[in-house]
Amino acid sequence: MPRLIKFRAWDSNRGRMSPDGGFIQIMGHGEFVVFNEDSCEWEIEGHILMQYTGLKDKNGVEVYQSDCIRHSRLRQGSTWEVIWLDDACGWFIDGGGQNVALSRLCEPLIEVIGNIYSNPELVG
């Protein structure tokens, strides 16, 4: 089964995730537009794309780039940010300079607790 490619967008103009009813069109060359169903308009400026990693946490929540997670066996109480590392061509979690490959973690032990945009206090 092919991996599902999905994105969500942080709307920095409104300080929230773009609504689930909207959609994102990727144009190429790093350009994209976001259509928000609630405003019925295309928006180009002020959005930050986050890609779905293909994993879900222990509660069935999809894990996206820039999510903040906890892992029950890694430094108890620590928060880790989900990042993409170009040099390693993969998803990792960053815990203050210590990177661990997301693919090496057991999904039932991961819990999404927020993201770096909605919950900046989680990133230390």
Cα 90 to Cα 51: distance, rounded to the nearest angstrom: 12
Query: CA torsion, points 120, 62, 49, 121, in degrees to nearest 10?
Result: 0
Cβ proximity of 90 and 39 under 8 Å: no
pTM metric for this prediction: 0.82
Q: Which domains does the chain have, with CATH numbers?
A: 7-122 (2.30.30.290)
38-92 pLDDT, tens per residue? 555 555 677 788 889 999 999 999 999 999 999 887 776 788 999 999 998 999 9
Cα 52 to Cα 6: distance, rounded to the nearest angstrom: 5
SS3 83: strand
Length of the chain: 124
CB neighbour list of residue 11: distance below 8 Å, 6 or more residues apart: 17, 18, 34, 36, 43, 46, 47
pLDDT score, position 72: 80
